[in-house]
Chain A
Amino acid sequence: MTTQSETGLVESAAVAPTVGTPRHHIIIFFTLLVLLLLAPFVLYPVFVMKVLCFALFASALNLLLGFGGLLSFGHAAFFGSASYVAAHAAKVWGLNPEIAILLGVGAAALLGLGIGALAIRRQGIYFAMVTLAFAQMVYFIAVQAPFTGGEDGIQAVPRGRLFGLIDLTSDLTLYFVVLAIVVAALLGIYRIIHSPFGQVLKAIRDNEPRSISLGYKVDRYKLAVFVMSATLAGLAGATKAIVFQLSSLTDVYWSMSGEVVLMTLLGGMGTVFGPLVGAAAIVTMENYLAGFGAWVTVIQGVIFVASVMLFREGIVGVLAKWLKKPL
């Protein structure tokens, strides 16, 4: 077997090191925050919440793919199982939404620990195949398990009262809760990327043998970032279950894993803002094309092919090159 190439997956990340948080990141963050605070008054809140959930999901994958250099083709397993657990906790056990979400996140983290520990034993495309296969296993379990409701999924999940106090039935109230969750998680991801831990991750991504020779326990770093990514994907899935009051087989199916890879690829792997742009673009596209049935799949495929053939840096990656600033 020929050796796997160690470099080259993320081309756009060749970025000069900066001290502290770059000022343009702060400006973009606050602009985005203001826009998102105004968004529910202009756009349909549920639509924006969907974008937010998928932006978090894609950012979680990007933490693993863009900064850890590990392509997981099975992230739907974490997204979906967290969504099932949260929906079950809120509906059957009647727990508060914040507890339901936390339980979902915990389930995703545990699953991430199990799958991650096995998957990091292989590299490159094998890693992608192993994660995909385990996700399919989770899907088959979801099809058979009694509590997932099979084809129907778990429907009519109550949104409940946050901390037992704030009624979340109103889309607008829920919107600001979701916004707070997603913004906090995104800031957390930003912090991870720019921490010493994140720097080691990038070193492993760019040259694994060298990182080993420098004395880093590469497997521990890989497993840690895998679990973090799975946990955050779970947060996205659990939040989505509360927003849409539904969790179904779609959430755990391989097409969901493919979709989130597509969002990350389109927006720009290894960029901070790319997954947000990619998620917004894909969710909007699906929203407008929902009536065209299988054409959505075809268009997703075309975007995949076009992204790989024409602009591997993604939308934000191209912008970053153009502005000569890391985004």
Chain B
Amino acid sequence: MFELLGIPPQALFGQLLLGLINGSFYALLSLGLAVIFGLLNIINFSHGAQYMMGAFVAWMLMTYAGINYWWALLIVPIVVGATGVVIERVMIARLYHLDHLYGLLLTFGLALIIQGLFRNQYGVSGLPYSIPTELSGGTNLGFMFLPNYRAWVVVASAVVCFGTWFAIEKTKLGAYLRAATENPTLVGAFGINVPRMITLTYGFGVALAALAGVLAAPIYSVNPNMGADLIIVVFAVVVIGGMGSILGAILTGFGLGIVEGLTRVFYPEASSVVIFVIMALVLLVKPAGLFGRTA
């Protein structure tokens, strides 16, 4: 068996895979944040809570209705996205004429409410959600053992990220969306219903968070606090990448996940802070973010 810098390859590739998994979630979540920010100009602080809701709704569908994982992948984003649509219509839409920080404060409050309610109902110990039978087990790649479900998460999130990028950058609908990001008034003058587009965009961003939640449910235990700490790391990812580009958000997400995984191999003590350190360096060297445009 060969060794790499004194690290056994099983440990190295194992941590790389874990980093890639985390990176998948960073990418999905920062993508949702970037999509929402592009059009609404607010940072969706409740993104972590909505990710947690995604995992919980999947668990509820399974426990109370016997609906399996594959249907949950379809139903959960629609259900949670619909709650996002309601939130945008009832609350966020009333704040667009104000400073964008109010949107942040509002969604922070919403996150507290959602997390508190779930904590009251289900406690903090975490609920199990089993891996669907089709994806249980793993494959031996020779140099490491690859659990099938984890491979699926990486592939699925890469596909969703690419699909979103394609829809926004290459389709007509995406062109409207990008135009509305640049100049909502003008796009409205061309007869496009911009407020409805904003509402649906928020719903879509929330649905992405919920989808990430469903993907995460079998890996991490389903627990009311699962989104709270994760979202802060994702904020750092967003600051590093800059929210100017969709592709930038995706690449930064996956990249930082891998960097974090490597740190866990070579210098485990720093693994929880490495992303923040990178953020500090990026702020020093390129304050607008790696893919950001200078404001």
Q: Which residues of chain A have a CB within 8 Å of any CB of chain B?
A: 1-5, 7-9, 71, 73, 118-119, 121-126, 128-130, 132-134, 136-137, 140-141, 143-144, 254, 258, 261, 265, 293-298, 300-305, 307-309, 312
- Please report the C-alpha to C-alpha distance between residue A309 and residue B101 in the assembled complex, in whole angstroms: 13
Q: Which of B245-289 contact A (CB under 8 A)?
A: 269, 272-273, 276-277, 279-280, 283-284, 287
Interface residue? B91 (CB, 8 A): yes
| Given contact pairs A136-B233, A305-B106, A308-B95, A1 touches B238 in the complex (Cβ within 8 A) | no
B236's partner among A128, A133, A144, A293 (CB-CB below 8 A) is A133
Residues of A within 8 A of B110 (CB): 301, 304-305
From B101, B105, B243, A1 is in contact (CB under 8 Å) with B243
- How far, in whole Å, are A107 and B117 apart by their CA atoms in the complex? 37
Known: A125-B42, A298-B120, A309-B94. 18 other contacts (CB 8 A): A8-B99, A9-B101, A71-B104, A129-B236, A130-B283, A133-B233, A136-B233, A137-B273, A137-B277, A140-B273, A140-B276, A261-B105, A294-B115, A295-B120, A298-B112, A302-B113, A307-B109, A308-B105
Contact A118 B280, beta carbon cutoff 8 Å: yes
Contact check, A133 vs B112: say whether CB atoms are below 8 A apart.
no
CB proximity of B44 to chain A, nearest CB, Å: 10
* B295 & A303 in contact (Cβ 8 Å cutoff): no
Known A133-B232, A254-B232: A309·B106 in contact at CB below 8 Å = yes
Contact of A125 among B100, B112, B276 (CB under 8 A): B100
- Which chain B positions have C-beta within 8 A of A4? 100, 295
**Complex interface: chain B residues within 8 A of A300 (CB):** 109, 112, 116
Q: Is the interface of B mostly helix, strand, loop or mixed?
A: helix
User: B284 touches which one: A118, A124, A303, A312 (CB < 8 A)?
Assistant: A118
Interface secondary structure of A, over-half rule: helix
Q: Smallest distance from the beta carbon of A146 to chain B beta carbons, Å?
A: 11
**Which of A7, A133, A305 is within 8 Å of B279, CB to CB?**
A133
Contact A294 B235, CB 8 Å, known A118-B283, A128-B101, A133-B279: no
Chain B 88-132: CB-based contact to A (< 8 A → 1; otherwise 0): 000100110011111011101111111111011000000000000
> How many Å lie between the Cα of A302 and that of B111 in the bound state?
10
Contact of B292 among A1, A3, A265, A301 (CB under 8 A): A1
- A3–B183 Cα gap in the complex (Å)? 11
Do B236 and A7 touch across chains, with their CB atoms under 8 A apart? no
Say yes or no for B21: interface residue by CB 8 A criterion: no
Asked whether any CB of chain A lies closer than 8 Å to the CB of B15, the reply is: no
Closest 8 CB pairs of A and B: A304-B109, A301-B112, A301-B113, A297-B116, A298-B116, A137-B276, A294-B119, A133-B236
List chain A residues, Cβ under 8 A from B29.
Answer: none
A-B contact pairs, 25 of them (CB 8 A): A1-B295, A5-B100, A9-B99, A9-B102, A118-B284, A121-B284, A122-B287, A125-B43, A125-B100, A129-B239, A133-B233, A133-B236, A134-B276, A136-B233, A136-B276, A143-B272, A144-B272, A295-B120, A296-B116, A297-B119, A298-B117, A302-B109, A304-B106, A304-B109, A307-B105
Within 8 Å CB of B100, what residues of A? 4-5, 124-125
Cα–Cα distance between A305 and B280 once the two chains are bound (Å): 31
CB nearest neighbor in B for A7: B99
A297 to chain B, nearest CB (A): 3
- The docked-state distance in angstroms from the alpha carbon of A136 to that of B275 is 11
